[in-house]
Every structure is written in C-alpha cells, then in structure tokens.
Structure 1
Amino acid sequence: MTTPWVAEAVRRIERDFQRSADTHLFPIELPALAGVQIYLKDESTHPTGSLKHRLARSLFLYGLCNGWIREGTTVIESSSGSTAVSEAYFARLLGLPFVAVMPRSTSAAKVAQIAFYGGRSHFVERGDQVYGEAARLARECGGHYMDQFTHAERATDWRGNNNIAESIFTQMRAEPHPVPRWIVVGAGTGGTSATIGRYLRYQGHASELCVVDPEHSVFFDYWNDRTRPEVTTDRPSRIEGIGRPRVEPSFVPGVIDRMLRVPDAASFAALRVLEQRLGRRFGGSTGTDFCGALQLASEMRARGEAGSIVTLACDGGERYLDTCYDDAWLRAQGHDIAPWVRRLEAACDSGAWAPG
C-alpha cells in the first residue's frame, strides 16, 4: 500500500520535474569538418548542475516505489561528487537526511554543494572503499544505500519517459541530419550508456553508441575482453564522474558499438580548446567526450561521410577551477597538456585526426 508520505514524495519530485526545462543542445562550429556536425548537449543547466540530476531523480523514484525509502529514511550514496550533489538536492526536497561517501580527493566545490543542500560528506582514502563503507553506514543507521552503480541502468526508463536519449532525438528533429551517426558518452555507473544504447535499439535507430573511457578505468578493458568481468585497478580515475576501478553492475557492454580510450592529458586539453571556441568551461568528462566526438568526426570526413554526432557536457567547469583549470594542479599531477592542445586545435582547424 502506498502511504500518504510516499505519495506526496513522488508528487514533489514530479512537480520539480515539471518546473525544469530541458537542457540545451547546441552545435560546435568546426568548418573544417564540412558535412559533419558535432552537437553538445549541455547537462550543466540542470538545477544541480550536472547530468547526474536525471539519475538522482530516477533513483529516488525507484527507491520510493520499491518501498526502500520512507519518511525519515537516511539516504546514503557512494559517489565521486556530482551524483551526491544531485541526491542531496532531492533528499532536501523530501526532508530526508543524506550522507555521501566519497574519496578524500573529491573537489572542494562539490563537497560545498552537498553541504549547501543539507547533506553530509563522509570521506574514504581510496575510490574502491566507497562501496563497503556506504553499505556499512546504511546498516548501522537503518538507512537506505542508494547504490547508483548497481541501480543506474534499471532505475531509468530506457524506452522513453523523457530520458536523455529521447530528449536528444526530440531536439535533433529539425537538424540537417536528425538521426545522429554517433552518440558519444563516458561511463561512470554505465547507466547513461545503457539507457541510450537500449533506446537506440528499441526505436530502431541507425545511430551507433561510442563510449569513451579515461586512463585508470577498467570499462575499456572489459569491453574488449568480456571474459574478464573481475578486472580491477588500484589507481583511481582522474576524470571525475567517469571511469571506474571495477566493472560496475550497471555497465552493459552489449549495447555499445565502439569504445575509445582517451588520455587524461587530452581530456584536460580539450577543455581549453572548448573554452576558446565556445567561451564556456566544463568538467573533465566533457573534455573526454569531445575528444571522442572529434576523432569520430575526423574519421567520417576522411571517408567522405556526412552526418551528425551528439555528445554531452556533463557538468560545468566552475566545480573544477582548482583542478582541471589550474595549471599548477595539472603540473603536480604530471599532465603536460600543451602538446594535446596543439593536436586538438589542429584537428579542429584541419578536420584530420592525428593518432598517437
């Protein structure tokens, strides 16, 4: 039986959704790629500033409708930051306590945003410790461990219901090439790639899905050799929001048509290139996405193909002023982005991708 509190909680989330406009989709003007148009879907315009706003809304509705979240339930999540920010927002909307379990290296701006929405941050030293610690805290307080890495691919309705894939195709209807040749995304939980890949098949679209993976992430290795689901790494991804040290339950390799590994220095360099061309700053995962989209666009141009490519701006750059946009931080991390800035600028200006 649905309790009055749960019914009102669902209504609050739906009202919040109705008050929110869709995110913008805008073209990146690169004349050298004649006939191939790259579009960037700007997910930073969500109320909590990132793509994870969609996931958090779905996870809360999933938890409410499964009977896991009730009045007074403490909600706990393992997160590198953006999902926690968005879940803190929805927890405050419902008047629920929220705790984010995250690596100590998470950007200070994200920690501050979680606190702004009334959430509490609980730190661990390594990224692979977040799962067990979140589960332990939930057991101790009788709360609900949201577990985005398990539930992301099943909490979102991949058939439609204004998911991100449906939104992309709705916004592309009037474009010269309304059915994208490629959609390019990164993988954190794997939920976004699963949603888009399933939607493409359900709707019968000819679009292909490319997932870009940063260094120190195992998704690329597993996709190439699916006999190794146990593959892990003890080095955390340096691109917040994407890349994982283990194969997450929500990662569905069968819906992915191609994967590309993107060097971290290339991802950070791409942010500078995008800033010069768009006048806007985005987070590191957007740089990874853009590198993949630019490589695919260059390959299409080399084959004489015309068409469109859609990729995502996952969050805004204001959260990363002390990391991705700080030259001292980049040097301290061992990143020399200047060669990659030159290579990416050359690719934008010539339409030719230089492998390396």
Structure 2
Amino acid sequence: MSEWVSSAIQVLEADANRSADTHLHLFPLPAQWGIDLYLKDESVHPTGSLKHRLARSLILYGLVNGLIDEDTTLVESSSGSTAVSEAYFARMLGLKFITVIPRSTSREKIELIEFYGGHCHLVDHADEISPEARRLAAGCHGHYLDQFTFAERATDWRGNNNIAESVFSQLALERHPIPRWIVVGAGTGGTSATFGRYVRYRRHPTQVAVADPEGSAFYAAWQGDPDAVGRASMIEGIGRPRVEPSFVPSVIDEMIAVPDAASVAAIRLLRERTLHLAGGSTGTNLYGAFELIARMRQAGETGSVVTLICDSGIRYTQTYYDDGWVAAQGWDMRPHRERMERFLDSGEW
C-alpha cells in the first residue's frame, strides 16, 4: 500500500471521527401505547444526508481494493445526494470528481455538486448515465464508484461504526433497547442490506422493513421477480425503475408501498409535530413506520421502531413544501393526512 493511500484512509477515518454520531430523536406517540418511535437524523452529516456514509464507504472500498490512487479521477452516475457527498470527499483527498447526470437536472443540484468541487457531465437521457460513466472512467485513469452496484458490499455489516451498530448502541439505555422494526427506504439497497445483515449477525429478533414508493421495481423483486421493471419515483433518493445489483431482498422481512402524495403529507406532518424539516424519502419511511406501529397496536405488542431522517427538507422548499408544485403533480395529500391524524389519535390505520 502506498504512502498516499495510507494517508487517504487516515483522512477519511478522521472525518468520521470528527463528525459526532447522528442523533436519535423520539417522535411523540401516546405514552399509553407502550411503543417508542425513533428517528435517526442523518441530515446532520457534513454533506447533509444519509449518503455521506455511503460516499465515504465507497471511496474507502476503492482505496483498500487498490482501485484508487493519487492520480485517480472518481466517477459516478448520480445527480443527487450521493454525488454531493462524493464530491466532498474527493475534494478532501485532492482527487478530481466527475458525475454523469441527465441534462434535465436542476441548476440547484448542479450548483451543489460544483460547490464541493465536482464536475457535472451532462447526457441527454437518464438511461445513458451508467454507460457514459463507465466510458469516462475507462478513458481518464478513473474509478467508477457505481453506487448501485457496490453500496451493499462497501459497508461492513458486522460493525465498524456502520449505521446499524450506531442505532443499537444509542438504544442501549432505552426501555425497549432491541427494536421490533427498523424501517428504511431503498435507493441503492445498501442501507436495507446493512441493517438486514447486522440484525441476523447479532441474532436480534428485530425485523427490517423497506418503505418503497409505489411503482418502484424493488417491491416486485422482493415478491420474487428479479427482472421487475418499475417507474422512476418522484421521491428523490429512493424507488427505482429497475432492480439494482445492490438490492438484497432476502434480508428484508417486509415491504410497504407508499404513494408519493403520502410521503409528502408525512414530512409536512413531521414538520408540524416535531419541527424537523426533512426530505421526501423521510416521509416514505415515516408513513411505513406508522403502518407497522398500527399493526403492533392491533396485535397488543409494545416495543420500539426506528426509522431515518434521510436528508434535510431545505433542499425541497420549492418542491415538496410548495403547494403549487405539489398540485402540479396531481397529488392529493388530504386522505393520507387524515389517515395519519386518525392513527395518531386512535392507533388505528
């Protein structure tokens, strides 16, 4: 291992050590239910999202496998939070970073990637981004980070300060330290794979649920169709039109399909009830968590449920939090809001 690679690994580890672990918030539920709902707040990472962990893991994976050196250009196919976080770490290591994105990507997203020193390579169609990223990496002494392939294998599910180990450590002094359910979304599938493997490895009775946008291919894959085709989600960061290599359905105990309008209704309710301003994927998680808690109530169970605040809602003030934008999508949030309000009053779903 070269001196530069050794130094780069130390820099990434120092970043992890310098950034205090993310908070675990309690969502207010009626005390008599005997059920605690926790929100793991990944929005407080330096780059503002859950993808901060993934970006660090993907680059570490490349370093320890001998795929990245001091002259390597890092290449990705992402216009979202993963690219933002990867650009942050590339700049930290003094490496060039290029992400391939559709030409239709908003200026705000491009500017955020460029803020951290990344370069956006535009293509006309979304289905061109992965092939183009591979081509670029092959032609510039580059390494294609490829989040949709490597997310599930880049994170050490046995521990090493992953998100699962963090959650269980933070719950250690709570009244229900071993959660009944952990609820996450799936973009790459890396987070659900990490939790699913970790709870099995530690022999916990915890079950893992994936809350997935309606129309995503992952739900059909979990039901047994590995070649399922879905549609792209309007909830950024999760839901995919195809089954990605990093999605591991065998470690998932339950999947819940959530309408996009319900996800947006849920983050608005979250804002009113807790003051946490979160992105749409957090709403998908929260809606799924509510449904599972209602099932626990019906079965007479007590315990804890954990889900994630994936990123801050500050990035979505002109979309999910804008009534005009929501109306333009044809979404009616009212029935979903009424359902959640009824649940929080009565425990019934």
Q: TM-score, normalised by structure 1?
A: 0.95
- Name the residue aligned to 2:45: 46
**2:261 aligned with 1:262:** no
Once the two structures are superposed, the pairs formed by residues 322-341 of structure 1 within 5 Å of their partners are 322-341=318-337
Where 1:189 maps in the other structure, the secondary structure is coil
Q: Read off the aligned partner of 2:77 and give its amino acid letter.
A: S
Shift of 1:31: 1.0
Q: Which moved more, 1:236-245 or 1:131-140?
A: 131-140
Q: Which moved more, 1:26-35 or 1:155-164?
A: 26-35
- Name the residue aligned to 1:344: 340
Q: Is the 8 A contact 1:32 1:348 kept in 2?
A: no
Deviations 1:104-160, CA, capped at 9 Å, x for gaps: 454544322211100012234444332112112212323111001111111100000
**2:31 aligned with 1:35:** no
**2:235 aligned with 1:239:** yes
Query: Structure 2: 5+ residue runs without aligned partners?
Result: none
**2:136 aligned with 1:137:** yes
- Name the residue aligned to 2:20: 21
Query: Structure 1: 5+ residue runs without aligned partners?
Result: none
Q: Read off the aligned partner of 1:287 and give its amino acid letter.
A: G
Q: Read off the aligned partner of 1:24 and give its amino acid letter.
A: H
Q: Is the 8 A contact 1:80 1:241 kept in 2?
A: no
Separation in 2 of the partners of 1:130 and 1:237?
17
Deviations 1:232-267, CA, capped at 9 Å, x for gaps: 23x311111111111111111110001110011100
Q: Is the 8 A contact 2:187 2:238 kept in 1?
A: yes
Change (3 A) 1:108 1:321: farther
Separation in 2 of the partners of 1:290 and 1:106?
27
Q: Is the 8 A contact 1:266 1:337 kept in 2?
A: yes
Deviations 1:268-325, CA, capped at 9 Å, x for gaps: 1101100000112101000000000000001111111101000000000011111111
- Name the residue aligned to 1:182: 181
- Name the residue aligned to 2:155: 156
2:226 to 224, 229, 241: 229
Q: Which moved more, 1:166-175 or 1:78-87?
A: 78-87
**2:305 aligned with 1:301:** no
Q: Which moved more, 1:114-123 or 1:96-105?
A: 96-105
Change (3 A) 1:268 1:33: farther
Separation in 1 of the partners of 2:4 and 2:93?
9
Where 1:8 maps in the other structure, the secondary structure is helix
Once the two structures are superposed, the pairs formed by residues 80-99 of structure 1 within 5 Å of their partners are 80-99=79-98
Deviations 1:154-192, CA, capped at 9 Å, x for gaps: 110000011000000000011110000000000011111
Where 2:255 maps in the other structure, the secondary structure is strand
Higher relative contact order (CA 8 A, sep 6+): 1
Separation in 2 of the partners of 1:252 and 1:38?
25
Where 1:309 maps in the other structure, the secondary structure is strand
- Name the residue aligned to 2:249: 253
Separation in 2 of the partners of 1:349 and 1:99?
49
Moved segments of 4+, more than 4 Å: 104-108
Shift of 1:344: 1.5
Report the identity percentage: 62
Q: Is the 8 A contact 1:32 1:350 kept in 2?
A: no
Separation in 2 of the partners of 1:128 and 1:34?
47
Shift of 1:80: 3.8
- Name the residue aligned to 1:57: 56
- Name the residue aligned to 2:112: 113
Q: Read off the aligned partner of 1:191 and give its amino acid letter.
A: G
1:289 to 285, 293, 302: 285
Where 1:195 maps in the other structure, the secondary structure is helix
Once the two structures are superposed, the pairs formed by residues 191-206 of structure 1 within 5 Å of their partners are 191-206=190-205
Q: Read off the aligned partner of 1:90 and give its amino acid letter.
A: F
Q: Read off the aligned partner of 1:280 and give its amino acid letter.
A: H
Q: Over aligned residues, Cα RMSD in angstroms? A: 1.4
Shift of 1:32: 7.2
